[in-house]
Amino acid sequence: MKKLTLILCAVLLSANAMAFSTVVKSKLVGDVTISGKGSVWKVDAKVESKGETEEITIELVADKPMTPPRFDVAMFTPQLDAHHLWHSSNIDRAKLFPEWKSKYTSSLAQDIPLYTFLNTNNRNRMTIAISEAKRKVVAQIGFREEEAMLQGILKFFVEEEAPISHYKVTILIDKRDQFWADAVRGGMSWIEAHNNFEICRVPDAAFEPLYSTWYQFHQQITDKEIEAECSEAVKLGMKTIIVDDGWQTADNNRGYDYCGDWRVAPVRIKDMAAHVKRVQDMGMKYMVWYSVPFIGRYSDAYSRFEGKFLYMRSKNVGVLDPRFPEVREYICSTYERALREWNLDGFKLDFIDSFTIKGTDPAIAEGYAGRDIKSVPEAVDVLMIDVAKRLQAIKPEILIEFRQNYIGPAIRQYGNMLRARDCPGDMQCNRLRIANLRLTSGTTAVHADMLEWNINEKPESAARHILSALYGVVQYSVMLRDIPKGQFDMVKHWIDFSQKHRQTLLHSDFRPYHPENCFPILEAESKKERIITVYQEGVVVTSGKPDRDIYIINATGAEKPVVELQKAPRKVEYYDTYGNVVAGDKLVAGLQRATIPVSGYVKLTY
């Protein structure tokens, strides 16, 4: 295709000028305005077009390092067959808000600078991706009432930044008519490639089902309780345990006043190395939770690092400033020591989104004294890359988990497991977050938020929590020793199913439909099979081309979902939620109701 390059340069003419504004012409969105206020900066902008995609590159240059200017990039295009807006932070259906209500923030440890307008038929209408994956960007992306337009206003340097003399950012516009999820995946790959990110190695163990202590125990854990649960978990096929907050403190207030020293509380675990070995001897890997930036007032580390905080999270909890080299070394060496002394298999690293500036940057008044890096996002990047590399140098197969909302493209450099943000008991929210993560995480393992349900729940109903998480790695946080046999057998079957079909569910073509309706259908397809799960009653399940085995899972909570087959299958097998073969109706070509049991499935063989 023909490339069209338009270059426009705006140079501030006066040393006293306090504003700049320039316009570049886009074939896809018309005029793109770059405007801002600040010191004397040279601003260059160019548009590179190729068919239905464009890259808009903006470059700022100053004669010497100085505080970068806040600036906006504004674009408008008619709302034509674009009804919904997807973004990584969606915890509800994909909604198109008016521009005055539609504001999104991304940074190194908060969401992703990627936005997709789509229609009601799952087609991309315009995707906007931004190469800035570390600094904070505020995007007012939505519907403009005047003239019924789609608006994109991107705001850069919205918080205090260290002095620089050069800045470059590129914005991708993609208007190709394609499946909306492919546009999202393409935008994410573009951001990663633009930044030359080196993605953290993902061992097979990152895709194994696991147990987490958090929802059932919170901070009230002991070695005996953990081991008792692990003995049940291995019977079900779980391969890893994450011991969450509580191992390092006798306090039960679910706060962080005692964080920072990261020594085992004897009242919780008497001998950590021996305890870890006992769990590993059962056949499970052992991961431990750490709150990366927090230093509590009641820790020995508090006095050591007082004066090296970004801000106080509360009166008793400081947030470390990673721009100090001794802070970064303390964090890295803490994890190295734990790995060596206890022979851990992994780390759950939490709250890295707290590494930010609240109000005034304390470094400014101190002239950046003692800090070898001036930018907080750059320092976090250096810290977390160092953490990953140093841990992998000791144990190459180390597991490292992060959770939403710190799931952006930079995060994939640091860890190999990305978990859905906390949504206890909310299976729909879990499904939404898993699906969103699958689109933006590439080969990194995507994990569900931990599952729990009431002990008196019917197995078929409890199974819907698992089915909502089936296209991610399922984490369980029910008290396994207490669940009745029916629930136990149900969990066992679905863990077996998820592992038998792991290549399809987790490593093959994943297709989520209708984000505007909270993904009523999810589908994954490999060379040998297609697995389709329906979550909403009354939705028609289209089985697709009859060229491989097809599984249709009924997660609606109701009997007889509506299915449409292109061709009558040669063989039909119905299964209940325990994996037992059950009787069911014959299926023919066309539209019909299938007698798929609640939380069960049908296998179609062609």
Q: If DSSP codes are grouped into helix, strand and coil, which group holds residue 458?
A: coil
Residues 351, 248 share a domain: yes
Residues 587/568, Cβ–Cβ less than 8 Å: yes
Q: Is residue 446 part of a domain?
A: no
Identify the pLDDT of residue 12. Answer: 33
Identify the pLDDT of residue 2. Answer: 35
User: Does pLDDT of 9 surpass 50?
Assistant: no
pLDDT band of residue 395 (cuts 50, 70, 90) is very high
At position 552, the amino acid (one-letter code) is I
Identify the pLDDT of residue 530. Answer: 98
The predicted-structure confidence for 105-136, as pLDDT tens digits, reads as follows: 999 999 999 999 999 999 999 999 999 999 99
Residues 279, 227 share a domain: yes
> Which region among 3-12, 573-582, 597-606 has the lowest average model confidence (pLDDT)?
3-12
Residues 221, 94 share a domain: no
Q: Is residue 431 part of a domain?
A: no
User: Does pLDDT of 4 surpass 50?
Assistant: no
Residues 297, 174 share a domain: no
Q: What's the pTM?
A: 0.94
Max CA distance (Å), the chain: 83
Given its phi and psi angles, is residue 81 left (phi above 0), alpha (psi -120 to 50 degrees) or beta? left
State how far the Cα of 75 lies from the Cα of 514, in Å rounded to an integer.
26
Q: Is residue 477 part of a domain?
A: no
pLDDT band of residue 39 (cuts 50, 70, 90) is low
- If one compares 18 and 428, the residue with the highest pLDDT of the two is 428
Residue 548: CA atoms inside 13 Å, Cβ hemisphere, count? 13
Counting residues of the chain whose pLDDT is more than 90, the rounded percentage is 93
Cα separation values, 443 from 221, 453, 511, 576, Å: 33, 30, 15, 32
pLDDT band of residue 6 (cuts 50, 70, 90) is very low
User: Does pLDDT of 1 surpass 60?
Assistant: no
Domain boundary among 164, 195, 226: 195
The predicted-structure confidence for 457-513, as pLDDT tens digits, reads as follows: 999 999 999 999 999 999 999 999 999 999 999 999 999 999 999 999 999 999 999
At position 560, the amino acid (one-letter code) is K
Question: Any idea what DSSP says for residue 388?
Answer: H
Counting residues of the chain whose pLDDT is more than 70, the rounded percentage is 97
The predicted-structure confidence for 46-57, as pLDDT tens digits, reads as follows: 999 999 999 999
Q: Is residue 123 part of a domain?
A: yes
Residues 123/180, Cβ–Cβ less than 8 Å: yes
Residues 525, 543 share a domain: yes
User: Does pLDDT of 312 surpass 90?
Assistant: yes
Residues 401, 307 share a domain: yes
Residues 103, 174 share a domain: yes
Mean pLDDT of the residues in the chain: 94
Kindly report the CATH number assigned to the domain that includes residue 225: 3.20.20.70
Domain boundary among 153, 174, 195: 195
Identify the pLDDT of residue 253. Answer: 73
Residues 369, 278 share a domain: yes
DSSP class per residue in 87-105: ETT-SSS----BTTT-EEE
Residues 459/118, Cβ–Cβ less than 8 Å: no
- Whether residue 405 is preceded by a cis peptide bond, meaning omega within 30 degrees of 0, is yes
Identify the pLDDT of residue 19. Answer: 87
Identify the pLDDT of residue 16. Answer: 32
State how far the Cα of 449 lies from the Cα of 42, in Å rounded to an integer.
47
Residues 216, 173 share a domain: no
Residues 159, 44 share a domain: yes
- The range of the structural domain enclosing residue 265 comes to 204-419
Total domains in the chain come to 3
User: Does pLDDT of 579 surpass 70?
Assistant: yes
State how far the Cα of 486 lies from the Cα of 303, in Å rounded to an integer.
53
State how far the Cα of 346 lies from the Cα of 585, in Å rounded to an integer.
48
Q: Is residue 458 part of a domain?
A: no
State how far the Cα of 269 lies from the Cα of 246, in Å rounded to an integer.
10
Residues 514, 391 share a domain: no
Residues 397, 270 share a domain: yes
Q: Is residue 496 part of a domain?
A: no
pLDDT band of residue 18 (cuts 50, 70, 90) is low
State how far the Cα of 218 lies from the Cα of 229, in Å rounded to an integer.
14
Domain boundary among 397, 419, 441: 419
Q: Is residue 439 part of a domain?
A: no
Q: Is residue 306 part of a domain?
A: yes
